[in-house]
């Protein structure tokens, strides 16, 4: 008896019937050849046939990228809103005091300096991302040139502007608005933030709150239990955050005990000391 399988009965690639199969697709189970085997970012070592790998429910990171590609994010709207506010404030100030060559009206005009950058940012011009980082410093330098006494104060005011600019510059969602190439790792981070078992994050949030406000404890427990039942690392896309769900659940269970046995007796003793003496 021979163990050799006749060539006609061996698995064949569903797309290339002349090629032997190298494995089966993790989603539809059909045979694929070495050329057709496709790995998907964010799904580990699993392999898919070409058709399944292109599906948005499988290649969820690519679907996420397309969903946000060129679409304005919250930061774009914030920058647009601030720019509009600056225009209105400058117009109102000029209407009030008129345009004279006084120091205050020159200072007012300084507020218009970030407007072109803000408009370009809102419209998705890439240079505005970088210009935004230096705009607060340029404003501080211009203010310093007009009035030497306030140097320290101007640069102190510029620091939050630069820090916010850096934060926006690094924001993956904002980079997608500007149609910049984003690594699968960064997309995974964005997906984790927004779509990976949000209930687990609620559980940990309510769990922490329950330490200060025990009324939140039952909500933390419910969220934690629901989040735990949702965890499924084998799903596509994988649903994680088990640790966060457990932490929320544990905090929700422990904090009422903490209040019942430690905080309330302590407060009780403390208050009675002041009231009855």
Which residues contact Zn ion by CB under 5 A? 13, 15-16, 25, 27-28, 33, 36, 49, 52
Least distance from C-beta 205 to Zn ion, angstroms? 38
DSSP string, 50-82: HHHHTSTTTSHHHHHHHHHTT---HHHHHHHHH
Tell me, what DSSP letter sits at residue 4? P
Q: CB nearer to Zn ion: give 37 or 190.
A: 37
Which is closer to Zn ion, CB of 31 or CB of 191? 31
Q: Residue 133 and residue 127: Cα distance in Å, rounded? A: 11
Give min distance, CB of 40 to Zn ion, in A. Answer: 11
Least distance from Zn ion to the Cβ atom of residue 48, Å? 5
Between 49 and 79, whose beta carbon lies closer to Zn ion? Answer: 49
Assess contact for 18 and 8: CB atoms under 8 A: no
CA distance 123 to 76: 9
Beta bridge partners of 89: none
Q: Report in angstroms how near the CB of residue 54 gets to Zn ion at its nearest.
A: 10
Name the packing angle between helices 127-146 and 151-170 (round to 10°): 180
Nearer CB in complex with Zn ion: 33/245: 33
Identity of the residue, 10 or 147, whose beta carbon is nearer to Zn ion in the bound complex: 10
Least separation, in Å, of the C-beta of 45 and Zn ion? 16
User: Whose structure tokens read 């909500």?
Assistant: 219
């Amino acid at each position: 008896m021979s163990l050799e399988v006749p060539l006609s009965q061996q698995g064949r690639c569903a797309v290339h019937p002349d090629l032997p199969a190298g494995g089966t697709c993790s989603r539809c189970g059909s045979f694929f050849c070495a050329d057709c085997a496709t790995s998907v970012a964010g799904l580990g070592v699993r392999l898919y046939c070409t058709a399944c790998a292109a599906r948005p429910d499988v290649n969820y990171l690519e679907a996420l990228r397309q969903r946000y590609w060129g679409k304005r994010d919250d930061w774009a709207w914030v920058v647009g809103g601030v720019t509009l506010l600056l225009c209105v404030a400058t117009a109102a100030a000029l209407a009030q005091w008129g345009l004279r060559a006084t120091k205050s009206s020159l200072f007012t005009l300084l507020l218009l300096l970030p407007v072109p950058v803000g408009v370009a940012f809102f419209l998705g011009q890439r240079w505005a991302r970088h210009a935004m980082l230096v705009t607060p410093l340029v404003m501080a330098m211009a203010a310093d040139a007009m009035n030497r006494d306030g140097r320290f104060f101007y640069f102190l005011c510029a620091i939050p502007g630069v820090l916010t600019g850096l934060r926006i510059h690094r924001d993956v969602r904002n980079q997608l608005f500007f149609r910049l190439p984003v690594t699968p790792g960064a997309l995974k981070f964005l997906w984790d933030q927004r779509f990976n078992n949000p209930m687990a994050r609620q559980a940990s949030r309510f769990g922490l709150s329950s330490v200060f406000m025990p009324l939140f404890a039952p909500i933390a427990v419910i969220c934690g239990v629901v989040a735990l039942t949702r965890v499924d690392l084998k799903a596509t896309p994988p649903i994680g955050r088990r640790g966060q769900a457990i932490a929320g659940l544990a905090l929700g269970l422990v904090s009422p005990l903490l209040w019942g046995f430690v905080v309330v007796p302590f407060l009780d003793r403390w208050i009675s000391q002041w009231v009855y003496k």
